[in-house]
Structure 1
Amino acid sequence: MKTERAPPILDFSAFYGNDATAKQKLVDDVRQCCLHNGFFQITGHPIPLELQEGVMNWNKKFFDLPLEEKSKVSLQTNTWNRGYELLRSQILEEGTQPELKEGFYVGDDIPKTHPYFVNKRLNSGPNVWPAGLAGVDDFKRTTQAYYYAAVALAKDILKVLALTLDLPEDFFSAYAAGAVATMRLLHYPPQQSDSDAKLARGIGAHTDFGGITILMQDEVDGLQVWDKEVADWFDVTPIKGAFVVNLGNLMMRWSNDRYISNLHRVINRSGKERYSIPFFFSGNPDYVIECLPNCKREGEESKYAPTTVEKAVLGGYSDSYGRAERYKKAQEAQGEKVPVVAAKEVAVA
């Protein structure tokens, strides 16, 4: 396990305190992370450990349901990306096998009368909940409470990011107003010990599509971050109560590639079940992303044409899920059907 160049752990409480020197150090440290690989961990945030543990416990209970029950809330039953996602539904890294993870998508629980739903905005609509899960009402309450706490934390992180770019603290307020965010409960079965390490992934090497990601890990490791300076992967050790934060492609595009949206992957060789909860903050779907002030030298051209949040994020979804479908069709053409099985049925050799 290589950890010596893993993303550093930063005390985010300085943002909420009255010590200007400590706050400036936090801003400076975050800036260095954004320039290096776009990853850091934070402690000292406002999300209570009790709420973190509560939603992680429900995460595990949901995935313990039989496949038949989980499939009743499949995301295939709606068009706004809510509900259960089967194992091997996605390929984020070209040339690898469909990924050994299953998920459950949650978002802002808006009604079908909401303008975002009516106008089919990015990932917007009502959540779906598994009626067969004992205590489903508490599952719903806990999951939603955590989701909205993560939205608030994301907005605070954006304020720090604005300061790292010598912009007003509220610079990203319009982008964050009416924001769309998606949360995934994830379960990674242990990978088979004889699986090909070059092909088998919990999640393949990829960059995230949105603005920022806030990840809660459980106690099982597996997350690895690429370090381009030394051309190697480094493990991100789970820290109780901490969040892993990373920049997505929108922030890299927005900063004219000054800040990094970095490769990361999950390989679960622990022999244990691994669970995590990533929260992807995309922003207002109609907000136009174009080169930020201070991110372009005089006379330098913007590397990217302006685009909306929605168009940029949907492009990432289309690529990764389309890749998995093409893989399955190619396997079936060769007479090798990709199995659809419950995660608990994946044997560990």
Structure 2
Amino acid sequence: MNNVVTEIPVLDISTSRNADGTFNPEFVAALLDAAHRVGFFQIVGYASRANQDQELLDTVAEFFAKPVEEKIGLDNRNSAQFRGYTRLGTEITRGRADSREQIDYGPDREPLAVVPADKPYLNLQGRNQFPEDFPQLRERAMEWAELMNRTGHELLSAISVGLGLGEDYFDEPFSGTPAWMGKLVHYVGGGIVPEAGNQGVGLHADYGFVTLLLQDQVGGLQVQPYGQDSWIEVPPTPGALVVNLGEMLEVATDGYLMATIHRVIAPPPNVDRYSVPFFYSPRLDAVIDKVELPAELAADARGVSDDPHNPMLASYGANVLKGWLRAHPQTAAIHYPQLIQKRATA
């Protein structure tokens, strides 16, 4: 990389289309540049209702202020879908505990009655766990998911146009039963989880296509663009969402677009940080093939990351289950013992 990246671009998604409904070439060019060169950017102008973002963050904070005895009733160890409440210090990133607790959720559907042995990732379809006595958490989280699905679709369509593809190129993998994921996250001040040190969440890349993050004003998110040793801060920006791309787009574009490595530094002692990441993702059975890029883009494709600790898989379901098994070892041991044993002997 010739130029060191020092800041995160900010794009106004309200300018994404022309009056006739076609994509604005200037917006598409800026989007593709940010996606390729930096791998992270922020968007403003997305179609939220007034105060929807802060209302959700306030609701998340109110939930996590409840006693752990109440939250543990939603324990994700009860869920083969890794849904529900993750206790402090029990999610693992790069072999180390994270300084966070969270609720994981997704499309609320009946689990499949029959799952083929060679497709264990289909077990990830299932029910959410939300508190019955605090219904506003479910209501606001699911309302946010609807907005993020629309926003993610618009961004992926614009990226597709930038790649020389039709704007509906990736629509088929998302048709029917897309397996988006959402998290409601509470990072705790450094030292509460001693084994985590200052790790809010360790360095990692995301599994799916497009990640949209709502973060509060505390800060701590850091990004390491491709080919760069230094980390850069992603500043909290009022009214903005942070966007990055996942492993499915890296696979599809042979690394022209990268699933950029990022991490969160735990907040200072006695400070709480809240965030709501949303992962715009296709069906569990979707398999993403490489696309044919225009020659000028293909020449800048960097290849898919070769990380023995994190092989990237073209099957979305297999890719995401790989990550869940690694991040939630206690839940994995309960619901996927055969896969855990297989990994241990591989």
The TM-score with structure 1 as length reference comes to 0.80
Separation of aligned partners in 1, 2:130 and 2:137: 9
| 1:63 paired residue number | 64
User: Does the aligned pair in 2 maintain the 1:193–1:269 contact within 8 Å?
Assistant: no
1:194 deviates by 12
Within a 5 Å distance, the mapping from 1:306-321 to structure 2 comes to: 307-321=314-328
User: Does the aligned pair in 2 maintain the 1:123–1:182 contact within 8 Å?
Assistant: no
Q: Residue 121 of structure 1 aligns to a residue in which SS?
A: helix
1:90 deviates by 2.2
Which amino acid in structure 2 is aligned with residue 43 of structure 1?
A: V
Separation of aligned partners in 2, 1:325 and 1:311: 14
| 2:44 paired residue number | 43
User: Does the aligned pair in 1 maintain the 2:80–2:331 contact within 8 Å?
Assistant: no
User: Does the aligned pair in 2 maintain the 1:11–1:44 contact within 8 Å?
Assistant: yes
Which amino acid in structure 1 is aligned with residue 40 of structure 2?
A: F
| 1:153 paired residue number | 151
Q: Does 1:100 align with 2:99?
A: yes
| 2:343 paired residue number | none
1:295 deviates by 6.8
Higher mean C-alpha deviation, range 120-129 or range 156-165: 120-129
1:139 deviates by 2.3
Higher mean C-alpha deviation, range 139-148 or range 287-296: 287-296
User: Does the aligned pair in 2 maintain the 1:258–1:295 contact within 8 Å?
Assistant: no
1:127 deviates by 1.6
| 1:258 paired residue number | 256
| 1:223 paired residue number | 221
Which amino acid in structure 2 is aligned with residue 318 of structure 1?
A: L
Which amino acid in structure 1 is aligned with residue 213 of structure 2?
A: L
Q: Residue 72 of structure 1 aligns to a residue in which SS?
A: helix
User: Does the aligned pair in 1 maintain the 2:110–2:125 contact within 8 Å?
Assistant: no
User: Does the aligned pair in 1 maintain the 2:6–2:232 contact within 8 Å?
Assistant: yes
Q: RMSD of aligned C-alpha atoms?
A: 3.2
| 2:30 paired residue number | 29
Q: Per-residue displacement from partner, 1:308-348 (whole Å, max 9, x unpaired)?
A: 2101221222233349999xxxxxxxxxxxxxxxxxxxxxx
- Percent of counterpart pairs with the same letter? 26
The TM-score with structure 2 as length reference comes to 0.81
Separation of aligned partners in 2, 1:90 and 1:229: 28
1:168 deviates by 0.5
Within a 5 Å distance, the mapping from 1:234-249 to structure 2 comes to: 234-249=232-247
User: Does the aligned pair in 1 maintain the 2:83–2:128 contact within 8 Å?
Assistant: yes
User: Does the aligned pair in 2 maintain the 1:181–1:281 contact within 8 Å?
Assistant: yes
Separation of aligned partners in 2, 1:315 and 1:29: 33
Higher mean C-alpha deviation, range 3-12 or range 233-242: 3-12
User: Does the aligned pair in 2 maintain the 1:103–1:184 contact within 8 Å?
Assistant: yes
Which amino acid in structure 1 is aligned with residue 41 of structure 2?
A: F
Q: Per-residue displacement from partner, 1:272-292 (whole Å, max 9, x unpaired)?
A: 200000001221111111111
Query: 1:241/1:49 Cα in 2 relative to 1: closer, same or farther (>3 Å)?
Result: farther
Ranges in structure 2 where 5+ consecutive residues have no aligned partner: 305-310, 334-346
Query: 1:214/1:75 Cα in 2 relative to 1: closer, same or farther (>3 Å)?
Result: same
Query: 1:77/1:258 Cα in 2 relative to 1: closer, same or farther (>3 Å)?
Result: same
Separation of aligned partners in 2, 1:157 and 1:211: 10
Separation of aligned partners in 2, 1:61 and 1:194: 21
| 2:277 paired residue number | 278
Equivalences, count: 314
1:37 deviates by 3.0
| 1:127 paired residue number | 128
User: Does the aligned pair in 1 maintain the 2:76–2:331 contact within 8 Å?
Assistant: no
Query: 1:47/1:193 Cα in 2 relative to 1: closer, same or farther (>3 Å)?
Result: same
